[in-house]
Amino acid sequence: MKEFFNIDARLLELDKLATEKCKPIFEEIEKITKHNQHKVLSAFIKNGVSEAHLGISTGYGYGDRGRDTLEKVFADCVGAEDSLIRHNFVSGTHALTVMLFGILRPNDSMLCLTGRPYDTLIGVLGIDSHSAGSLKDFGIGYEQAELDSSGLPDLEKIESILKEKFYKVAYIQRSRGYSLRPSLSVEQIGKLCRLVKKVSPDTLVLVDNCYGEFVEKREPISVGADLIAGSLIKNPGGGIAMTGGYIAGRHDLVELCAYRLTAPGVGREVGASLGHNRELYMGLFAAPHTVGEALKTAVYAAALFELLGYTATPRFDEKRADIIESITLGDSESLIAFCQGMQKGAPVDSFVTPEPWDMPGYTEQVIMAAGAFTLGASIELSADAPLREPYAAWLQGGLNFHSAQAGVLLAAQSMLDKNILKL
């Protein structure tokens, strides 16, 4: 490290201590990675993936065997009946939007079981102000069950609300978004699914699975969720997919979503792969290992910054449900310095200095450190945050641990250079 980067010797001593503390946690991560890698390999073998599936289709994309087989492979990987995995989902928010519009109809209602959703979904729901084309615009009702005092879903409150009226959809956001609440484990999601089905058997449980894929041995479908959705430039794209998203779950529900993605009566039968099949297959195959590296990065960042006196959520030795690590820095100056240092450890655009800006879909200015091969890829090392209390940086990703480790140290060094960090 000292040979290549200008890191203070005192930070390097803390790096050694943090790395030692992380070793038993890393061993547990390796066990999960091994399980998930074998699961993915098995799905590839079961579905007879061949060179013929990696080719290109154009135009309407009728009969694209590679696209159709990939959807079978992905469904097996997440324990689902069916999946829709396409490069033309432009983001995780787009996949979630297609899922919601595919299932909900005018006069239906949805209940979010995990409090206020992630910022970019607010416009989709239309819950703060008028957004043209939102669910609200189509007469679809939205309500949310606030979290309990510990930041977890309030089971008693949810049960009470579900008894009051029928909701077509119960919605779960697995990851925390820009909040400090705990992310939800698959086991916790299972408890919510069982509660919903007990009180309201016809309510469909839909899960925003972003940042959670391959973090545990099971996915939410295995514990009762009807549909899950997410982005391919996060976990399941393995750092190789350049764009895309997925929806997976019950076959009939996936079909409804396909009609929303393309057109009623056409659905999944169209959609040229345009040469993206190879990278989507490769990304999915690499995903368990890449997620493991991202988890190691999160654990290490928590350990290092706890040694520096900061609050990390989750703590370095806590059980994890996603790849995100938040570090509460306390003020805007510290947050900006952290992100600027993280950028210096990026393989792409390391010379760029991030500054807060008015980012579409967010109410406050956002600062982002993201020197990535794929723009916006949260499975690559990145850190971002809105400039608001508690001035926490949300760190995620890391294609490989050793380069990400350098990025975390450079974030600390940036704070030290600005006399923010006291050693």
Q: Is the pLDDT of residue 59 over 90?
A: yes
pLDDT 10s digits, 24-43: 999 999 999 999 999 999 99
pLDDT 10s digits, 126-162: 988 777 899 999 999 999 999 999 999 999 999 999 9
Residues 6+ apart with CB under 8 A from 418: 333, 337
Q: What pTM, to 2 d.p., does this model score?
A: 0.95
The span from the CA of 395 to the CA of 325, in Å, is 5
Which fold is adopted by the domain 9-38+285-417?
Answer: Aspartate Aminotransferase, domain 1 (3.90.1150)
Residues 6+ apart with CB under 8 A from 116: 144, 179
Q: Which two tokens stand for residue 283?
A: 């990304």
Ranges of CATH 3.90.1150.60 domains, the chain: 9-38+285-417
pLDDT of residue 327: 96
Q: Is the pLDDT of residue 364 over 90?
A: no
Q: Classify domain 55-275 at the CATH class level.
A: alpha beta
Q: What angle separates helix 401-417 from helix 9-46, to the nearest 10 degrees?
A: 150
The identity of residue 155, as a single letter, is L
Distance set, CA 171 to CA 21, 145, 185, 193, 248 (Å):
37, 10, 15, 10, 15
Distance set, CA 75 to CA 30, 53, 224, 280, 378 (Å):
23, 16, 15, 14, 22
Ranges of CATH 3.40.640.10 domains, the chain: 55-275
Pairing outcome for strands 169-173 and 109-112: parallel
pLDDT 10s digits, 177-206: 778 889 999 999 999 999 999 999 999 999
> What mean pLDDT do residues 220-236 have?
98
Distance set, CA 74 to CA 37, 175, 257 (Å):
13, 21, 16
Distance set, CA 106 to CA 95, 141, 156, 157, 245 (Å):
20, 9, 28, 26, 25
CB-based contact 354:337 (threshold 8 Å): no
pLDDT band at 361 (very low <50, low <70, confident <90, very high): low
